[in-house]
Amino acid sequence: MSENKINLKSAWDLAPSLESTSLINLKKQYELFIGGKWVKPSSNKYFDTNNPATEEKLASIANANAKDVDLAVKAARKAYDTTWSKLSGKERGKYIYRIARIMQERAKELAVVETLDGGKPIRESRDIDIPLAANHFFYYAGWADKLEYAFPNRNPKSLGVAGQITPWNFPLLMAAWKIAPALACGNTVVLKPAETTSLTTLLLAEICEQAGLPDGVVNIVTGAGDTGAEIVNHDGIDKIAFTGSTGVGKIIQKAIAGTDKKATLELGGKAANIVFEDAPLDQAVEGIINGIFFNQGHVCCAGSRLLVQESVYEVVLRKLKDRMESLILGNPLDKNTDIGAINSKEQLDTINHYIKLGKEEGAEIYQPEGKLEKKGYWCKPTLFTGVAQSNRIVQEEIFGPVLAIQTFRTIEEAITKANNTPYGLSAGVWTDKGSKIFNMTSQLRAGIVWANTFNKFDATSPFGGYKESGFGREGGLHGLEAYLSFEN
């Protein structure tokens, strides 16, 4: 193979193209949203939320303690008892439709705030996070009066008050995944967003107000892990829905073991993305890129392990490196940015720890050239080659733009390696051969299998994992089940 290098760092540089922030009007300080009112935290304590791209403070966020959580749960219970459980499905649905519509109207504002607060590229928050979030409300709104058809002969009933804890990687989208089905099934909600990314969830609270949602149906309490623990341990909660790390998920499962609380856990992953020699290779490379660099790799279902058939390893690696050259890392507000800021200093430290570990374990690292800004938290897209199944960067979830590449020879070896993990959230397979696709998709132990595509999401499509990636499904018809009780 010749050494012809293609130069994709072009002389034709794109001029900055920043999304305007004039549309947004952030408050200096955000209170708790309890019982339809904005309430000061009983401790009177606040914490800062920052822009990870600039490290500048965006707003102060109320820190909810046990007392505040108790108020929120009581408000939710009251709303459940007095209004929400008394409404017909049709009426509930209409409220949820309203929320969806207002989200669509305020989409640009939500996108900009999501990007400012979380560091993700505006292209992603604009084209993926916000539209999908609205889609979830729209989809589940329609289920509210049709639950009997989803579960024939089972007489589905709402559970009561759902305690929900969302992660920082898709703040508004995860809030939508949790709130929309909960409300459609007739439950009320106490939700805690992740402490580094509370803003869009608070805007969602505003939207609930705008929609005229009855007081207390949705309550938002902000804070860190200890606030979440108060929700998990509160006696008035009937259901816990958590998305986050497997470690925290296990703590939650243990904490509620002695109770009748139902739980849905969406936890970590270490997905294998498997490329066969007969795959459409250029599209596979694009899938690899989307698989691991989407949202800076802060994705539980990220394709963080690449398994390439050895016969095409060199070609795939070459194409991958070329494609990485054209990725634009920088200001998340720039419409051309592909890779934004790492969500927090803490997460950047974790990623850098793994990158160091990968080097120490003897893996070969590749990162495109280019300088990183001094301010803000940044990490270059990173490949590790020469890794073995026993490398920690292959086994552990990094939650950053770091891809570990291995080779395989046979279908059997690919399946063995792909399934050789405690996780089982997602997997990818690339081949042009239909029967091989079905062989792979049926043998891969994962809740979502993408064949000849990767990292696609939809409101109608159930999402959730096998094994230590958690249990329960969110999205689609199957996502309703987590918020209902049945006769049989």
Partner 1 sequence: MESKKLSIINHPLSITKVDQVGISDRVSRITKRSVKNEAKIYGLKMALSMIDLTTLEGADTVNKVKQLCYKGMHLHDSYGDLPTVAAICVYPNFVGLAKEQLKGSGINVASVATAFPSGNSSLEVKITDTKMAIDAGADEVDMVISRGKFHQGEYNYVFDEIAKIKEVCGKHARLKTILETGELGSLDNVRKASDIAMYAGSDFIKTSTGKISPAATLPVTLVMLEAIKDYYYETGIQIGMKPAGGISNAKLALQYLMLVKETLGDKWLTNEWFRFGASSLANDVLMQLEKQRTGNYQSKDYFSKD
Partner 2 sequence: MSRIEVLKTYKMYIGGKFPRTESGIHYPQLDSKGNPIANMCKASRKDFRNTVVEARKAQEPWANRTAYNRSQILYRIAEMLEGRKAQFIEELMQMGTTKKQAENEVFTSIDRLIYYAGWADKYQQISSSVNPVSGAFFNFSMHEPTGVVAVIAPEENGLIGLVSTIAPIIVSGNSCIVLASESKALCSISFAEVINSSDVPGGVINILTGNALELIPHFSTHMDVNSLLYCGNNKKAIQLMKENSVTNLKRIVVKKDIDWMKDENESPYFITKFTEVKTTWHPIEKIGASGSGY
Q: Among 48, 91, 282, 310, which residue sits at the site for partner 1 (rule: CB under 8 A)?
A: 282
Closer to partner 2 by Cβ: residue 310 or 458 = 458
What's the min distance (Å) between Cβ of 6 and partner 1?
5
471 binds partner 2 (CB under 8 A): yes
Closer to partner 1 by Cβ: residue 6 or 257 = 6
The answer to whether the CB of 414 falls within 8 A of the CB of 444 is no
Active-site entry in 266, 397, 468, 474: 266
Active-site entry in 300, 379, 397, 474: 300
> How many amino acids of this chain bind partner 2 (CB under 8 A)?
43
Which helix (H) or strand (E) segment is 8 a member of?
none
- Within 83-190, where are the H helices? 89-105, 107-118, 122-124, 130-143, 147-150, 171-184
422 binds partner 2 (CB under 8 A): yes
Backbone angles phi, psi at 256, to 5 degrees: -100, 10
133 binds partner 2 (CB under 8 A): no
332 binds partner 2 (CB under 8 A): no
326 binds partner 1 (CB under 8 A): yes
Tokens standing for residue 172: 């508004």
449 binds partner 2 (CB under 8 A): yes
- Can you tell me whether residue 366 is helix, strand or coil? strand
CB count in 10 Å sphere of residue 176? 31
Cα 168 to Cα 49: distance, rounded to the nearest angstrom: 12
The answer to whether the CB of 402 falls within 8 A of the CB of 366 is no
Closer to partner 1 by Cβ: residue 373 or 432 = 432
- Tell me which stretch binds partner 1 (CB under 8 A): 8-16, 79-87, 164-172, 252-260: 8-16
Question: Distance from CA of residue 149 to its chain's centroid?
Answer: 29
Cα 136 to Cα 295: distance, rounded to the nearest angstrom: 20
What residues between 408 and 437 interact with partner 1 by CB under 8 A?
A: 432
461 binds partner 2 (CB under 8 A): yes
321 binds partner 1 (CB under 8 A): no
Cα 114 to Cα 101: distance, rounded to the nearest angstrom: 18
CB count in 10 Å sphere of residue 116? 28
450 binds partner 2 (CB under 8 A): yes
Cα 429 to Cα 416: distance, rounded to the nearest angstrom: 14
Cα 26 to Cα 29: distance, rounded to the nearest angstrom: 8
Cα 394 to Cα 410: distance, rounded to the nearest angstrom: 19
Q: Among 286, 361, 396, 413, which residue sits at the site for partner 1 (rule: CB under 8 A)?
A: 286
- Can you tell me whether residue 310 is helix, strand or coil? helix
- Tell me which stretch binds partner 1 (CB under 8 A): 2-10, 78-86, 194-202, 299-307: 2-10
| N-terminal to C-terminal alpha carbon distance within the chain | 63
Closer to partner 2 by Cβ: residue 276 or 450 = 450
453 binds partner 2 (CB under 8 A): yes
Closer to partner 2 by Cβ: residue 17 or 460 = 460
107 binds partner 2 (CB under 8 A): no
From partner 1, partner 2, none, interface partner of 12 (C-beta below 5 to 8 A by class): partner 1
What's the min distance (Å) between Cβ of 195 and partner 1?
32
Cα 315 to Cα 248: distance, rounded to the nearest angstrom: 40
Between β-strands 470-471 and 262-266, what pairing exists: parallel, antiparallel or unpaired? antiparallel
Cα 197 to Cα 61: distance, rounded to the nearest angstrom: 10
- Tell me which stretch binds partner 1 (CB under 8 A): 10-18, 101-109, 131-139, 179-187: 10-18
435 binds partner 2 (CB under 8 A): no
Cα 90 to Cα 171: distance, rounded to the nearest angstrom: 28
Is 266 one of the annotated active-site residues of the chain? yes
Print the binding letters for residues 37-76 with partner 1: x by CB under 8 A, - otherwise.
----------------------------------------
What residues between 111 and 130 interact with partner 1 by CB under 8 A?
A: 123, 127
Q: How is residue 299 annotated by DSSP?
A: -
Burial of 262 (0-12, 13-18, 19+ CB in 10 A): buried
From partner 1, partner 2, none, interface partner of 123 (C-beta below 5 to 8 A by class): partner 1
What residues between 246 and 265 interact with partner 2 by CB under 8 A?
A: 246, 249-251, 253-254, 256-258, 265
E strand segments, 271-312: 272-275, 305-309
Beta bridge partners of 274: 307, 429
Residue 399 region by backbone torsions, left for phi larger than 0, else alpha for psi between -120 and 50, else beta: left
336 binds partner 1 (CB under 8 A): yes
Is 300 one of the annotated active-site residues of the chain? yes
What residues between 263 and 322 interact with partner 2 by CB under 8 A?
A: 265, 267
Cα 309 to Cα 275: distance, rounded to the nearest angstrom: 6
From partner 2, partner 1, none, interface partner of 286 (C-beta below 5 to 8 A by class): partner 1
What residues between 195 and 234 interact with partner 2 by CB under 8 A?
A: none
Binding site for partner 2 (CB under 8 A): 135, 154, 246, 249-251, 253-254, 256-258, 265, 267, 422, 437, 441-442, 446-453, 456, 458, 460-464, 466-468, 470-471, 473, 476-478, 486, 488
Active site residues: 266, 300
Q: Which residues bind partner 1 (CB under 8 A)?
A: 1-2, 4, 6-17, 123, 127, 277-284, 286-287, 311-312, 315, 318, 322, 325-326, 335-336, 432, 452-453
